[in-house]
């Protein structure tokens, strides 16, 4: 594939990732909840989708042949994982100290239980998955550097 086509695919990927993240956050937004974790939740979803794509579809990225970018991703991924852990820790502390019920008091009991379960499981799923994938990224980049250097392909 030529580079223009790969760049278009990359742009479509980022737009679709933001759309998917918005779809997962839509139930929380729909109930008009004063949710403090919109930014971190959005970051978790985008990070998970991006890291999974980099792990499994790295060959299709338009920048997959840039060795220095791979080295930079290795270094930056440690910082990103650290911040993901901090965001996840902030969510856990909030849930343990204050509880999700504090945000859901304006809803009836059935909606409170359903939405609390949704928020908790959705946040836990994407946060843990993004952290695990973020830990795997340096190994994938090292593998890609090695194969490009020794075998001549990404």
pLDDT in tens, 48-84: 999 999 999 998 888 888 999 999 999 999 999 999 9
Q: Which residue has the higher pLDDT, 48 or 4?
A: 48
Domain hosting residue 70, numbered range: 3-25+38-150
Would you state the pLDDT for residue 60? Answer: 83
pLDDT in tens, 106-130: 889 999 999 999 999 999 999 999 9
Query: Residue 86 domain-assigned?
Result: yes
Rounded mean pLDDT, 19-32: 94
Would you state the pLDDT for residue 91? Answer: 96
pTM for the structure as a whole: 0.91
Query: Is 70 exceeded by the pLDDT of residue 1?
Result: no
Query: Is 90 exceeded by the pLDDT of residue 135?
Result: yes
Query: Residue 67 domain-assigned?
Result: yes
Widest distance between CA atoms in the chain: 62
Domains held by the chain: number: 1
Query: Residue 31 domain-assigned?
Result: no
Query: Residue 49 domain-assigned?
Result: yes
Please provide the DSSP assignment of the chain as one string: --HHHHHHHHHHHHHHHHHHHHHHHHHHHHTT---TTHHHHHHHHHHHHHHHHHHHHGGGSTTTT-HHHHHHHHHHHHHHHHHHHHHHHHHHHHHHHT-GGGG-TTS-HHHHHHHHHHHHHHHHHHHHHHHHHHHHHHHHHHHHHHHHHHTS--
Query: Is 90 exceeded by the pLDDT of residue 2?
Result: no
**CA–CA gap between residue 71 and residue 59 (Å, rounded):** 16
């Amino acid at each position: 594939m030529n580079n223009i086509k790969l760049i278009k695919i990359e742009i479509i990927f980022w737009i679709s990732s933001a759309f998917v993240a918005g779809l997962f956050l839509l139930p929380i937004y729909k109930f008009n909840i004063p949710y403090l974790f919109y930014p971190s939740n959005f970051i978790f979803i985008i990070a998970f989708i991006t890291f999974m794509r980099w792990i499994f579809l790295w060959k299709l990225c338009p920048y997959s042949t840039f060795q220095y970018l791979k080295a930079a991703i290795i270094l930056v991924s440690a910082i990103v994982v650290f911040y993901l852990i901090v965001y996840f820790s902030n969510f856990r502390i909030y849930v343990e100290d204050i509880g999700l019920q504090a945000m859901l008091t304006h809803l009836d009991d059935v909606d409170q239980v359903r939405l609390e379960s949704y928020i908790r499981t959705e946040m836990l799923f994407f946060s843990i998955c993004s952290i695990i994938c973020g830990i795997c990224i340096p190994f994938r980049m090292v593998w890609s550097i090695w194969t490009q250097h020794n075998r001549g392909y990404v």
